[in-house]
Amino acid sequence: MRVLITGGAGFIGSHTADRLLDEGHQVRVLDALLPPVHADRRFPEHLLARGVEWIDGDVRDRSAWETALDGVDAVYHLAAYQDYLPDFSTFFTTNTASTALLYEVLVARGQRPQRVVVASSQAVYGEGAYRCLDCGGDEVLRLRARSVERLDRGDWELRCPRCGAVPVPDWTDESEVSPHNSYAISKYGQELAALALGERYGIPTVALRYSIVQGSRQSFRNAYSGILRIFAQRVLNGQPPVCYEDGSQLRDYVSVHDVVRANRLVLEDERAVGQALNVGGGRRVSILDYARLVGECAGVEVTPEVPGAYRAGDTRHVLSAIGRLEQLGWRPEVPLRDVIQEYLDWAVAQPDFIDGTAEADLRMRSLGTVRQSTSARTS
């Protein structure tokens, strides 16, 4: 097939391109190489050497789509804007409007690709699923986001609405969403548009809700998000990792190689069409434990800092259930330690690897994205 990958010069996109090329497919990439991720605006040389066709264009531009879609059999729409900064409209134009534009161009031209795969996110769930053991633990709770007032007090945990106890995090399936920041809302809008328009106009579409994806080629120039790159920057430059809140937040992490396998599966498996599917790591890890593991992999003894700061719009706990994708024959295979080690080995080999976390933290604090609780503690 001839496959178009938007954002194909980036992290997940370049790995997906490699897999498709290995299988003999033709790959075209639509990528504007925008900063901060692509600060030097250089398209990956190894992809050009392998015959990838690069179109320098923006997914918000109709003419870029019209050029990129010519003659393609399938589309991976992976280009996205992800950040914690308050430039709200950028999330919606890049993530949601670009997806509507993709289908607008396809429908106007009468073009029906064999598959469109859009990259959604675990973020659409907001807070994950919980169970209150004090109430018996039988009912799945989907709780509202924490208020800024509570976070300012350092009151990190959610509470059962019936008894007030702290509920335990559960695995979150695809049945219910509650996005509560700009990125999450824009990604949910993206998948709603893609699945609805795909069904209406006969364009087989799949949305994949990625958990926290990690591995080599993950940009370290954008220090505003991505726990591995942030902690790696700190540890490899002799600084302790900084954990928001109290560091007890639970997340699941998935290797980019497992994500590529999921991308490849849904390209041809008809059972995936019309669905939004979780792509997760199947493991629950606290932020503090993750920081320590990064130190172990780097061969450095670290004591994470916990200054009592928090990011506005963050989720307390979220863990993606992967049962639906497992039913299609997929499951995560790469151990977390291997994921971290691969990234560290790649990062130290980059000539421009620097620690930009302090600058990023100052900027986010100046914009009110990172705030300090009144009950700050350091450990």
- Which residue type is seen at 93? T
The pLDDT assigned to 86 comes to 83
The pLDDT assigned to 222 comes to 64
Which regions of the chain does DSSP assign to beta strands (E)?
2-6, 26-30, 53-55, 74-77, 115-121, 129-131, 140-142, 168-169, 205-210, 212-214, 250-251, 253-255, 276-279, 285-286, 309-311, 370-372
Tokens of 110: 């009468």
What is residue 29's predicted lDDT score, i.e. its pLDDT? 98
pLDDT for 108 equals 98
Q: State the pLDDT at residue 225.
A: 57
Position 378 scores a pLDDT of 42
CA distance 255 to 335: 8
pLDDT in single tens digits along all 379 residues of the chain: 999 999 999 999 999 999 999 999 999 999 999 877 776 778 999 999 999 999 999 999 999 999 999 999 999 999 999 877 788 999 999 999 999 999 999 999 999 999 999 999 999 999 999 999 999 999 999 999 999 999 999 999 999 999 999 999 999 999 999 999 899 999 999 999 999 999 999 999 999 999 999 999 987 766 555 899 899 989 998 999 999 999 999 999 999 999 999 999 999 999 999 999 999 999 999 999 999 999 999 999 999 999 999 998 899 999 999 999 999 999 999 999 999 999 999 999 988 787 778 888 888 888 888 999 987 544 3
pLDDT of the residue at 361? 83
Retrieve residue 182's tokens. Answer: 């700009």
Integer-rounded Cα Rg, in Å, for the chain is 20
The CB density around residue 55, as the number of other CB atoms within 10 Å, is 17
**What's the CATH fold of domain 80-372?**
Rossmann fold (3.40.50)
The residue type at 102 = L
In this prediction the pTM is: 0.95
Q: What is the residue type of 378?
A: T
Residue 329, judged by CB atoms within 10 A of its CB (0-12, 13-18, 19+), counts as exposed
N- to C-terminal Cα separation, the chain? 54
Give pLDDT, residue 379: 39
**What is residue 360's predicted lDDT score, i.e. its pLDDT?**
81
Distance CA 256, CA 216 (A): 8
3-state helix/strand/coil string of 70-123: CCCCEEEECCCCCCCCCCHHHHHHHHHHHHHHHHHHHHHHCCCCCEEEEEEEHH
